Amino acid sequence: MTPAEAIQTIVEATEKVEGIRALFLSGSYGNGMADAHSDIDLVMVTDEGATDALAEVWRRAVSRTGEIVLWWDRTNIPVLINAITDDWIRIDLIILKPDQMGAHSQDTLKVLFDHAGIFDGLPKTLPDRKPDARKFLYQVEEFIRILGLLHVAAGREEYINGVLGVFHLRNLLVELLIEETAAPNRGGILHLNRLISDAQKELLTSLPPPKPNRHSMIETHLAYAEAYIPRARKRAVDLGIDWPERFEAATWNVLKERLSIERPYQLE
């Protein structure tokens, strides 16, 4: 079954169910950016919200599109149900009450049915997302904290976990790069190519891959520090955020004392 056929099958299974007031496509299908690899994101508006009864209605609807091989029913987010069928169509549903639609706008949704005229009451677009200074400062401090744990991992010879540390540093660097571009419609985790510039991609691909040994663990931590911290310092200035100078300095001091390594960049 194709995604288009799956969507039509779901509409036919839910359009006349009592209490379901509207069903919209969201995500890539909602904003017109879907490709052959996109999952199907939907928003359902119901009188009672995400009840067990509605979840069962939804399961029966999805089962018409194919055998369900994965079913997560409101596990991490109380209104979200994730499903994957046997031919790997990924279908994610958010179930909301009408007064919970404030985070949505017309340009992010496509109407499948709308018995209550909910779409007409939504704004055409939402205001541009402002940078979250508090979140950014947390990410900076988290990067420095993980960097500082390098001496612990080296002291214990925890080289496997040292690789995991680099994974976290990489994620934080990617977040910073995306924030620099201020790209709209971020989408899911596998949309990075359209969110960052060619120069940023070159930076990421130039960084050394981590290997579970002492030399590589230290080398990769330092490479990510050199890539991340100067850029993050510049963004902190742009956002008017005080840099955690004492924390960074203390971190480099302990790394020099315990591992005889120096800061790999110059402070401006």
Cα 178 to its chain centre, rounded Å, is 11
The residue ranges of every structural domain in the chain are: 3-121, 133-259
CATH class of the domain comprising 133-259: mainly alpha
pLDDT value at residue 149: 96
pLDDT digits (tens, 9 = 90+) for 60-116: 999 999 999 999 999 989 999 999 999 999 999 999 999 999 889 999 999 999 999
Nearest to 41 by CA among 194, 190, 187, 183: 187
Considering the entire predicted model, what is its pTM?
0.80
Q: Calculate ∠ Cα 105-32-135, nearest 5°.
A: 55
CA-CA distance, 193 to 3, in Å (whole number)? 23
pLDDT digits (tens, 9 = 90+) for 144-178: 999 999 999 999 999 988 899 999 999 999 999 98
pLDDT digits (tens, 9 = 90+) for 22-68: 999 998 898 888 888 889 999 999 999 999 999 999 999 999 999 99
Homologous superfamily, domain 3-121: Beta Polymerase, domain 2 (3.30.460.10)
Model confidence band, residue 189 (pLDDT cutoffs 50, 70, 90): low
